Amino acid sequence: MINLLARYVNLVVLTIAALILISFSLPYLFPGDVLTNMSGIVPESEAQRAALEGVYKLNSSVFVQFWYYLNTLFSGNWGVSFSSQESLFDAVSIAFPATIELITYALLISVVVGIPLGFIGGIWHHKPFDFGVVTFSVVSYSFPVFWLALIFITIFSLQLGLLPLSGRVNLLYDVPHHSGFIIVDILVADIPHKADALYDALQHLILPTLSIAFVTTAIFVRFTRRSIMDVMEKGYIDAAKSRGFTTKQIFFKHGLRNALLPILPLMAMQISTLITNAMVVETIFSWPGIGNWLIQAIYQRDYPAIRIGMLVVSVFVVTLTFTIEFLSRAIDPARDKFERATI
Amino acid sequence: MTPFSLQTSKRLKQKVVNSLLVGCCLLTSACSQQKTDITRNGITFCSESSPASLNPQLDTSSTTADASSHQIYDRLLEFNTDNGRIEPGLASSWLVSNDGLTYTFQLRKGVKFHSTDYFTPSRNFNADDVIFSIDRWRVVSHPYHDISGGNYPYFDSLGLGNTIKDVKRINGYRVEISLYKPDSSFLANLATDFSVILSAEYAMALMKDGSPSYLDRFPIGTGPYKFLSYRKDQFIRYQRHNDYFLDSKGPENLVFDITPKSSLRVAKLITGECDAVAFPSQNDLETIRERDDLTLLEKPGLNVGFWAFNTTKAPFNDPRVRKALALAIDKTSLLEAVYLGQATRAKSLVPSASWAHQSNMQDLGYNPVAARKLLDEAGIPFNFTMNIWAMPVQRAYNPNAMKMAQLMSSYLADVGVTVNIVSYDWARFRENLTLGMHDSVLIGWSADNGDPDNFYRPLLTCAAIPSGTNRARWCNEEYDVLIESALNTEDENERRIFYHRANQVIFRETPLVPIAHAYQYQAVSNNIQGMVINPFGGIRFDDVERTP
């Protein structure tokens, strides 16, 4: 087990190192002054330029520069944005939790709805309910996320006037920033009208979360359905049946666990899809997350912000993917633990 | 064969259906937008862009003025939003000497500055605050002059720093301002959005702490709202100033929700996420008019949208080229396509709402043949390439500069001129314009006060080139003399003659092509009362209230 963990950590570290190397090379590849692309500051005087060059050691060899680049990254000194001159670290630490919050809820809905539906469909496959489930999953899998989000807005916000179409919470509620998760922040905040604020935040969450969750749920339904159908045809199920176990016992003792195991690694593969969808949805719902922020940065050709945004998002995806992969390997007795680490 | 008996399947199905039903109920029960306490005591205004600063002395953009001028600050004098007359503000009365050189202001007593997390005032507003606020931009050696960049574009473009000789304290509540030469627009300038009164006490405290630039980022004023917080591209929060010296009906909380997309602003107005929006786009006006729960306010605006040539660059330094290009475009179809008929054709700088408007002014019509002839005379070859800078934001005077530039490029192609359209983000756009990097630009001007000098001087005089409001970078001695003479004259009829002569100079030289005077629009939810369009500057919320 330790061996396996070491292999995964090794793989994660190497991948992240490669990503950092790419992000380090971006300021050289983007048009314009390398120093400005790196720091986000347009030096106004020679003295300021010299001071900045001192931080990034631009006059030294590439290896020394990379070392100092690593230093600035790990000390949280990520430079400032071109357009706003705000610290990128601060901007990311406000925007990123908003995205994580959105995907967490979307993922939660997908798991809670998708996996049971998949089980039911798989167990009674080729029955009317199963046809319903399959139809639902095919249809919602085929919806482009941005289109679905716009349809939601048209129906629920503009036509029916039931739900808000932008932001995380009505701005009149002044929720102080702690964790960056709006629900958590409201719960720990010492503000008047807490219950109202929570209610308002939940309303803001519904449409963006559902827009993302639709596609992911469809994927989970299909995985689970396929998986439980495979498991139920296995010899050990027949053996259990012949020994006189009840259907309930067979399903919970043999079916459930064995069907769930192959789903976990498949979930890991969905993380990047989930993030991409979240970015699109954030832009449509003006959700102040990393996707929205990154798209604004791209519009404004804010190179320091693009560099950091790309690094943060990719490190997040890589770490999460490897973690889930490792967990699924660790709990699945059928998979060879001494095999090489893979994704 | 199914592995389950029919009975279990029925039971399971029932359970699933039940749980689904419960889920649906939970979802739908959460779905109804109600007004709660806090939303009843607050107003959300969807603004179009992030302000560059929270001190309007530093910026002429209307975004900055909207966000700060009438919310956080007060001025010595105010414009009446209906008729443009000058009314008392922080000055309760004033006296002008017979030679027009000395102005004495009696200040209001008992006016309190904001008390916030970051500053608690120990005294009321007095003469020191007036002297500090004016000297900051007037006196180059003032310790605060160079803080936050040291550019005061409005005052610099009018050359006001050189007009004022001295600002003197007579006593705690009386200030005397003396001028070098008479200036008939001086009182109007003190009433503009930019002549705000800052707190001298706060400035001194900040200087002592070594963080003077906080003066413009964490503002303290006497206005109806105090500043709470600002996040770029997201929001600005204000809270009611309960000790405001006037009766204010304003709400407890005021939020500017920064929403750059105009269609999204209107959508948020429809869903009730905004109570009022800035600059509804021309396409959405019909939608707003059709809805019973929304009101569209409109007023002929004191503005002008124009196409300015960079007259310091060849070949645009040749009046023949400028005139030819002006003849090559069809203004009437631009008015229809870009303003959708919500504007009047501009012949000179000032709109008909101003007393200095000249109704019998000549205008350059659409004449591509004459245009090509003039271009040939000036030696401009076929396939000459120029750029048109199209501003990236919507303004009343030009709701869609990009579209206008595209239309113009097809007109100019007919006379053999190829056009590249250029755009940057708003801050960079104006920066590069001030540096004179453009060939020509589609931009405009909204008046800050009702005085015609506010159009003629900042837009085309020599002194306005370095401050960046003279986008044509045009400097003409004859024009400057006329504008100067108009300012030295008190009589409106005599002033009008000077301005009409200036119109002739503009027509002859064509440093810019006036295109349109647009109507101003504001869309407001019917729950809101007291919103008016302020033709003399930034939006005001002091008398806005929510109906129960």
Q: Where are the domains of chain A?
A: 2-75, 88-301
Q: Which two tokens stand for residue B496?
A: 């009008």
Which residue in B39, B259, B267 is closest to A170 by CB distance?
A: B39
pLDDT band at B8 (very low <50, low <70, confident <90, very high): very low
Q: What is the pLDDT of residues B155-203, one digit of tens each?
A: 888 888 888 999 999 999 999 999 998 888 889 889 988 999 999 999 9
- pLDDT recorded at residue B37: 66
How far, in Å, CA of A138 to CA of A116, rounded?
Answer: 17
Which residue of chain B comes nearest to A195, CA vs CA?
A: B36
- Given a cut of 90, whether residue A180 has pLDDT beyond it is no
- Answer yes or no: CATH 3.90.76.10 is held by domain B3-275+527-546: yes
Q: What is the pLDDT of residues B373-432, one digit of tens each?
A: 999 999 999 889 999 999 888 888 888 899 999 999 999 999 999 999 988 777 778 888
List CB contacts (< 8 A) between A203 and chain B: 30-31, 33
- Given a cut of 90, whether residue B363 has pLDDT beyond it is no
Ranges for all domains in chain B classified under CATH 3.10.105.10: 303-520
- pLDDT recorded at residue A341: 61
For residue B179, the Cα-to-chain-centroid distance in whole angstroms is: 28
- Do A166 and B270 count as a contact with CB atoms less than 8 A apart? no
Assign domain B303-520 to a CATH class. alpha beta
A88-301: CATH topology is MetI-like fold (1.10.3720)
**E strand or H helix that includes residue B261:** none
List CB contacts (< 8 A) between B422 and chain A: none
Q: What is the pLDDT of residues B239-271, one digit of tens each?
A: 999 999 888 878 889 999 999 888 899 999 999
> Percent of chain B beyond pLDDT 90?
51
Which residue of chain B comes nearest to A192, CA vs CA?
A: B38
- Do A237 and B3 count as a contact with CB atoms less than 8 A apart? yes
How far, in Å, CA of B117 to CA of A299, rounded?
Answer: 36
- Do B31 and A288 count as a contact with CB atoms less than 8 A apart? no
How far, in Å, CA of B538 to CA of A284, rounded?
Answer: 30
Residue to substitute from B8, B269, B271, B426, interface A, most A β-carbons within 10 A:
B271
- Given a cut of 70, whether residue B342 has pLDDT beyond it is yes
- pLDDT recorded at residue A250: 85
- pLDDT recorded at residue B123: 93
- pLDDT recorded at residue A174: 85
Residue to substitute from A80, A172, A287, interface B, most B β-carbons within 10 A:
A172
How far, in Å, CA of A111 to CA of A213, rounded?
Answer: 9
- Do B5 and A120 count as a contact with CB atoms less than 8 A apart? no
Partner A contacted by B39 (CB < 8 A): yes
Mean pLDDT value across chain A: 87
Q: What is the pLDDT of residues A275-299, one digit of tens each?
A: 889 999 999 999 999 998 998 888 8
Q: Please classify residue B381 by burial: count the beta carbons closer than 10 Å to its beta carbon, then call 0-12 exposed, 13-18 middle and 19+ buried.
A: exposed
- pLDDT recorded at residue A337: 53
Q: What is the pLDDT of residues A95-119, one digit of tens each?
A: 999 999 999 999 999 999 999 999 8
Closest CA to A285 of B283, B38, B259: B259
- Given a cut of 60, whether residue A172 has pLDDT beyond it is yes
Interface confidence, given as ipTM, is 0.80
pTM equals 0.79
Partner A contacted by B308 (CB < 8 A): no
How far, in Å, CA of B215 to CA of B236, rounded?
Answer: 16
For A:220-249, CB contacts with B below 8 A are 232, 237, 241, 247-248
List CB contacts (< 8 A) between B39 and chain A: 170, 172
Q: What is the pLDDT of residues B67-108, one digit of tens each?
A: 999 999 999 999 887 777 889 999 999 999 988 899 999 999
Partner A contacted by B33 (CB < 8 A): yes
- pLDDT recorded at residue B31: 40
Q: What is the pLDDT of residues B127-164, one digit of tens each?
A: 999 999 999 999 999 999 988 888 898 888 888 888 89
- pLDDT recorded at residue A340: 61
DSSP SS3 for B333:
helix
pLDDT band at A269 (very low <50, low <70, confident <90, very high): confident
In Å, how far are A187, A337, B271 from B32, measured between CA atoms? 21, 52, 11
For B:253-282, CB contacts with A below 8 A are 253, 255, 257, 259, 264, 267-268, 270-273
Looking at residue B300, the DSSP 8-state letter turns out to be: E
- pLDDT recorded at residue A201: 92
In Å, how far are A17, A40, A143, A301 from A28, measured between CA atoms? 18, 13, 39, 15
Residue B234 to chain A, least CA–CA distance (Å): 8
Mean pLDDT value across chain B: 86
Cross-strand bridge partners of residue B514:
B306
pLDDT band at B36 (very low <50, low <70, confident <90, very high): low
